[in-house]
Amino acid sequence: MSTVGKAVSLLDVLGSGGAEMALADIARAADFDKATTRRLLVALIDNGLVEQDGGTRLYRLGAGIARLALMREAHFPFLRTGAPVVERLAAATGETAHLSEHSRRGLVSVHVVESARANRIFVPLGEQLPLHATASGIAFLAFAEPRVRAAAMTGGFEIYTPHTIVDPASLASHVEDARRRGYSIGSQGFEEGVDSAAAPILNAAGLATGAIALAAPRSRVTRGDLDRYGMLVAAAGREIGERLYGGGATPQLKQA
């Protein structure tokens, strides 16, 4: 792993752990020795990406992370554009709605609005969503660049539940269904007891750059609910895509 890759992995550790972490805990989570971890943290501190409390000596993410995020949003306002749509979707359905964006690291949740109900689905910010095991991932694959889709459908899929899709032919069928409808339906593929519907966010060329989804306890929804949610997320995905990219190809919607 390159030095840059190691430094980024430390940022991931700090972002996914507690608010502040000790050097030993960071080194253990990253699987680096303490000397390497300390050296990388010093470099990150020098660039404002990590901070160290002068009293406790604990480390936390630095303000430079927010500055980079704001710079990115200024040039490509994916989160700013999508967040209000996600919030409206959650309010309209009473279920957890979430937005994800695709990069070289995969499909990652970037905005989540949880249901106000006691029995609700929790989607962590920054969680990587498996393309083969989530409604968001399948909706994305249905409209992904051909090379990205081909790479994701070669097999060797990680199993998360007894319902996870592990057969490439079955995944291809689900992807085709999602492409035909314009949205995907997921049932317990990533977490047992969770059903979901998701739709892609398309750029001007009609290729997916992310997804928007609704997730609900399986005990609370019917297939009819999921198809209704599918139509809602498809409309929400189109709205985000049109605002970001000024229109383009849109998924063909057919009632399942």
Pair 55, 156 in one domain: no
Identify whether 252 is part of a domain.
Answer: no
Pair 189, 85 in one domain: yes
Identify whether 254 is part of a domain.
Answer: no
Pair 105, 54 in one domain: no
What is the reported pLDDT for 140?
Answer: 98
Please tell me the distance from the alpha carbon of residue 143 to that of residue 251, in angstroms, as a whole number.
8
Pair 144, 240 in one domain: yes
Q: Which residues contact 114 (CB under 8 A, 6 or more apart)?
A: 90, 96, 120, 121, 122, 123
Pair 116, 213 in one domain: yes
Of the candidates 67, 90, 115, which is a domain's last residue? 67
Q: Length of the chain, please?
A: 256
Pair 53, 122 in one domain: no
What is the reported pLDDT for 247?
Answer: 59
Please tell me the distance from the alpha carbon of residue 199 to that of residue 222, in angstroms, as a whole number.
18
Task: Give the residue numbers spanning the domain of 236.
Answer: 76-245
Four-residue CA torsion sign, 59, 108, 95, 79? positive
Please tell me the distance from the alpha carbon of residue 10 to that of residue 41, in angstroms, as a whole number.
8
Please tell me the distance from the alpha carbon of residue 87 to that of residue 109, in angstroms, as a whole number.
14
Q: In total, how many domains does the chain have?
A: 2
Identify whether 253 is part of a domain.
Answer: no
- Residue 117 belongs to domain with CATH number: 3.30.450.40
Residues of the chain with pLDDT under 70: 75, 247-256
DSSP 32: -
What is the reported pLDDT for 249?
Answer: 52
